[in-house]
Amino acid sequence: MTGLLATITRTGIATAQDGGRPGFTDVGVPVAGAWHRARYERACALLCGVVDGSTPTIEVLAGEMDLRAATDLVLVVTGPAQVSIDGRRTAVGAVVRVPAGAGVTVIPDGVGPVYVAVSGWRPDRTLASCSVDTFSHLGGAAFTVGDPLLGDAAELPEDRVGWFHRPVRPPSGPLRIVVTDVDRAEPFLARPWVVRRMARSGVRLRSTGWLAPTESVDSFPVVPGAIQLTPDAEAIVLGPDGALTGGYPVVGVVASVDLDRISTLSAGAEITFVAIEATAAVKSWATAENERSRSLAHPSMLA
C-alpha cells in the first residue's frame, strides 16, 4: 500500500535517477539515468541484492540534502559524502536502519554524484523510468523542499542491513578514449584541457591554442562520452542527458571504463586524454566490473 515514507526537508541539486530509458533512442528519447553508474549500481546491489536498472535513487550532485523519515526505513548512501542520522554520523556505503521520525543528512564531499537508495520508494515513472532528464525535462524536475517520497513502508529488507561496500581504487591518469577521427586525434591528445562548465547534458572543455574546426558535418547519432569539437574552440564530452544527434565533429568516445570519471570532474580541473583500442577498452571494462562485483560484503563474511 502506497504511503509517505519520507519528506525532503533540504536540498541542493538532486534528482531521481535509475538505470534510465534504454531502447527509446530511435524515437528521440535520451537514455538519461544515473551519471556515475558504478556508484548507482553499488547502491542497488547493497539495498536490493540485484542490479537491473529499476531501483530508484536520489542522485545528489551538489549541496546538502536532508530528509525526514515518516516511517521505519532501510537506506544506503554511496559515493564520497558525510551522512548522519539525527546528527550522529553513520557509515557511507553500508545499509543502515532509519527509525520513523529521524532526520537524515547527506553532505557530498564534492567529488561527483552521491546516491541515496531508500527501501520501498516508488516514484512516478515515465517510459518505465523515474529518471529526470535535466535537458529535455522528461521525467519531472529536480527535488525541492517539501517533496514527498511515496512508496510501500512494508518493504523493509532487514536481511540487507549490515551489507557494506569495500572501497575499490578508482581509475586514475589520462581519460582513455576510443578514437574515431584519426586526423584530429593527434593534436587533441597532445594537449591538456581545462573544465569550463559541468552539467548532466555535457562537460565543456577548453585548451590554450586549440583551433576550432572550420568545416561542418552532417548530423549523426552520438552517445554519452562522445567528444564533440565545437566552432567556438571548445570540446564537449556528452553526459547522460545529452542530445542523441550532433552536427559537430567527434574526435572519439570516452571508454566505458572511464565514463564515470567524467561526473567527478569540477570546473577548473585540468585533464588529459590518451587513445585506447576498442578491444583493450572492453578488457579494461570487464576487469573493473569484476572488481566491483567482489567489493560487496556482509559482516558475517569477516569471520
Examine residue 146 and state whether it is found in any structural domain, yes or no: yes
Residue pair 100/71 in contact (Cβ under 8 Å)? The answer is yes
- Find all residues with CB under 8 Å of 207, minimum gap 6, and list them: 191, 192, 193, 194, 235
Q: In 3-state terms, what secondary structure has residue 278?
A: helix
pTM for the predicted model, two decimal places:
0.95
Q: Are strands 103-108 and 65-69 parallel, antiparallel or unpaired?
A: antiparallel
- Reference 94, options 77, 110, 107, 106; nearest CA is 77
13 shares its domain with 158: yes
131 shares its domain with 18: yes
Total domain count, the chain: 2
134 shares its domain with 272: no
Q: Are strands 148-152 and 234-238 parallel, antiparallel or unpaired?
A: unpaired
Please write the tens of the pLDDT for every residue from 224-268: 999 999 999 999 999 999 989 988 999 999 999 999 999 999 999
CA distance 94 to 81: 12
Examine residue 228 and state whether it is found in any structural domain, yes or no: yes
158 shares its domain with 214: no
Question: Would the pLDDT of 303 be above 50?
Answer: no
Please write the tens of the pLDDT for every residue from 173-230: 999 999 999 999 999 999 999 999 999 999 999 999 998 888 778 889 999 999 999 9
**Containing H/E element for 184?**
helix 182-189
Domain span holding position 228: 175-292
Residue pair 48/157 in contact (Cβ under 8 Å)? The answer is yes
209 shares its domain with 234: yes
Q: Domain ends where: 116, 139, 165?
A: 165
Q: Domain ends where: 165, 185, 218?
A: 165
- Find all residues with CB under 8 Å of 286, minimum gap 6, and list them: none
108 shares its domain with 234: no
Q: Domain ends where: 165, 200, 230?
A: 165
CA distance 230 to 140: 30
100 shares its domain with 187: no
CATH number at residue 249: 2.40.100.10
